[in-house]
């Protein structure tokens, strides 16, 4: 059996992996959203304000996926 100290150390490793892979997905998502915003604004500059609102919404939804990983990481290191 492994002792408790080893488990705690590996939990920190797991927390790092969780937040890292979550950030990869959220980064990809926000990148795609920004690309869509740029496409829309360069095609129709007059919708810039409206499109930016929808972009913020989509970016917040994509960012939430990274934060799910953050919650798991915080749980693993015992932050709450």
Partner 1 sequence: MEHWIYSLNLFGKTFTVNLDTIFTMWFAMLVLIIFAFFATRKLSIVPSKLQAASEALMNFFYGTLDTMMPSKNRQHVPFVASLFLFILFANLMGQLPLRIIHLKSGELASPTNDINVTASLAILVLIYYITAGLIAKKWKFFIHEFSFQGIIMFLVELLEMFTRPLSLAIRLFANIFAGEVLISICLGISAKFLPLPVMFFELIVAFIQATVFMMLTIAYVSSAASVEE
Q: How many helices (H) and strands (E) does the chain have?
A: 2, 0
80 is a site residue for partner 1 (CB under 8 A): yes
Q: Which is nearer to partner 1, 32 or 64 (CB)?
A: 64
Contact 23, 66 (CB under 8 A): yes
Q: Which is nearer to partner 1, 11 or 23 (CB)?
A: 23
Write down the least CB distance from residue 53 to partner 1, Å. Answer: 9
Q: Which residue is associated with the tokens 């409206």?
A: 50
SS3 per-residue string spanning 37-54: HHHHHHHCHHHHHHHHHH
> Which range binds partner 1 by CB under 8 A, 3-11, 30-38, 41-49, 61-69?
61-69
Tell me which residues touch partner 1 (CB under 8 A): 56-57, 60-61, 63-64, 67-68, 70-71, 74, 79-80
């Amino acid at each position: 059996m492994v002792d408790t100290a080893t488990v705690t150390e590996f939990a920190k490793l797991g927390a790092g992996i969780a937040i890292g892979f979550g950030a990869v997905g959220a980064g990809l998502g926000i990148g795609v959203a920004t690309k869509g915003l740029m496409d829309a604004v360069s095609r129709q500059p007059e919708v810039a304000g409206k499109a930016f609102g929808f972009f913020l919404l989509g970016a917040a939804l994509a960012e939430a996926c990274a934060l799910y990983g953050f919650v798991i990481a915080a749980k693993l290191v015992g932050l709450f």
